[in-house]
Amino acid sequence: MITVHHLENSRSQRVLWLLEELDVPYEVKRYERDKKTNLAPPALMKVHPLGKSPVIEDGGAVYAETGAIAEHIIDAHGQGRLKPAAGTDAHRRYQYWMHAAEGSFMPPLVMALFLNRMETAPMPFFAKPIAKKLVNAVRGGYLDHTTKALFDHVDAELRKSAWLAGDAFTAADVMMSFPLEASLTRIDVARKSSAIKDFVERIQARPAYARALEQGGPYAYA
């Protein structure tokens, strides 16, 4: 049986959801974040050297990185489900979104989170103007236009079809769920997108999504 080392309020919720969609048996080992730092506990380092979640154990092997975990689950347990046939346009789109979730969309979201924290962190009064200037420089010089391009792109794709790889729901939609859920809490261009809002409503209405929340516990993607 698959063991999922699951951290509360984290991207590993997608692994539980994927397993529920496929009806694959698994057990959950839950971990809580440090109340002061919000970081994963040291206990996760006993599972994988980086001490991060998600991590799964399956057949005596340890798998880390959400995308790699999702691909392993689909290949080993999917039986052809949630993955378009190779050589099709849907499969090309599927591969792109499977990797774009963590490779393109999560970095600017994480950067935006830390810039917000930097802007509001306690500091001497004379340091605040310097911090604000640095934050505005990063936003204006890189983050704002990069983020707009990314979410304009996903908005356009979701106006073509209900799901990111086409008309059928796939594991790529599971992978993209976290960045799109998070975008609605902090990215203006996403908040204005009816296509992104509708996508998030569709995924959150799926029975397997609800079952995964019951298994995973607290999930605050903001």
> 131 and 159: one domain?
yes
> Which residues of the chain fall short of a pLDDT of 50?
none
Prediction pTM value = 0.92
Residue 159's pLDDT is what? 97
Q: Say if 27 falls within a structural domain.
A: yes
Residue 222's pLDDT is what? 53
> 173 and 67: one domain?
no
Helix residue ranges per DSSP H, the chain: 13-22, 66-77, 89-100, 106-120, 128-138, 144-158, 171-186, 188-191, 194-204, 207-216
> 72 and 142: one domain?
no
Task: In whole angstroms, give the CA distance from residue 74 to residue 14.
Answer: 13
pLDDT tens for 22-32 read: 999 999 999 99
> 56 and 165: one domain?
no
Q: Write the single-letter amino acid at 220.
A: A
Residue 90's pLDDT is what? 98
Residue 116's pLDDT is what? 81
pLDDT tens for 128-175 read: 887 788 878 888 889 999 999 999 999 999 999 999 999 999 999 999
Total count of domains within the chain: 2
> 94 and 73: one domain?
no
Q: Which domain holds residue 147?
A: 89-206
Q: Specify the CATH number for the domain of residue 193.
A: 1.20.1050.10
The b/e string for 90-120 (b: 16+ C-beta within 10 A; e otherwise) is bbebbbbbbebbbebbbebbebbeebeeeee
* 190 contacts 178 by C-beta, under 8 angstroms: no
Element (DSSP H or E) covering residue 30: strand 26-31
